[in-house]
Amino acid sequence: MFRGYKVNLTDDYFPDSNDIFGTLGSVVAKKNRADFSNFIQFLRPDGRIDASKVEDVWFPSLQADIFISHSHADIDLVHRLVGLFKVYGLSAFVDSSVWGHSDQLLQQIDRAYCYDADRKIYSYEDRNRSTALVHNLLLIALMKVIDKAECVLFLNTPSSIEINTDHNGNPWEETASPWIYSELAITRLIKRRELSEFRPRLREMQKIAAKRQSPSAVFPAPQDHLLDFNFDNFMSAIDSGKKGVDILDQIYEETP
């Protein structure tokens, strides 16, 4: 991970006309879903589960520009973001595409190892072991994906974060999701990597630049003669229907 951000967004940010982003995003997310129906493919000859094979099916050679951590309640918003990123050339990995299907894998394991067909009950102890197995496998795999992603986005919404107060009345942010808790902890602890590690072209350019002995200097950069450009004024001119130099005229009038 090069950099992580928390994002405050709602569905209102996207006009209805942009529902095409949501449709595209849902298609992209579906491609990340694993198929655990053929459970026998994960078994070694000795009957034990091959965790590497499970991970290969769950996360097939995944390399995403952006990792999105979110509440499942915000999935429609997430799909719109994924679609938007896709249109502008960015690949995004949606965490719920995988941890949302951990129950499917657990069901396969429990049927094979935890169910007593004669008594028609599941073993409590074996179920604890299977849950720990799947959740540990998923957590490590998610950590690898976050490590490989250049950018991490956490959707900070009321669905993912609760605002409470401590005993002194100070605000305190909490989450009821163990997966959000895990991913936030990973992004805090994981080693930050240089941007060049994610961009081969940038890495090559840095190598070339390092070989050259180019002359360099520093120059004064006075800016007191420049006015502050108000981007809100620019957007206001566009919203009012102005085009071309009429936009500049309005900016000039507001910054005499």
On average, the pLDDT of the chain sits at: 80
| Contacts by 212-218, CB closer than 8 A, 24 or more apart | none
61 shares its domain with 168: yes
Residue 125 belongs to a domain: yes
Q: Which residue has the higher pLDDT, 162 or 243?
A: 162
Are 114 and 60 within one domain?
yes
Is residue 134 in a domain? Answer: yes
For 44, the domain range is 3-203
Q: 231 and 170 share a domain?
A: no
Say if residue 83 is in the same domain as residue 160.
yes
pLDDT (tens digit per residue) in 172-182 = 888 988 888 88
Please state the φ and ψ torsions of residue 153, each to the nearest 5 degrees. Answer: -115, 125
- One domain, residues 225 and 146: no
Residue 6: its H or E element: strand 3-7
Specify burial of residue 228 (Cβ count, 10 A radius: 0-12, 13-18, 19+).
exposed
Question: Which letter does DSSP use for residue 192 in this model?
Answer: P
Q: Is residue 213 part of a domain?
A: no
Q: Are residues 146 and 255 in the same domain?
A: no
Token pair 């579906």 in the structure block, residue = 30
**Does residue 122 have a pLDDT over 90?**
yes
Token reading at 235: 């957007």
Per the structure, the count of domains in the chain is 2
Q: Across residues 43-63, what is the average pLDDT?
A: 80
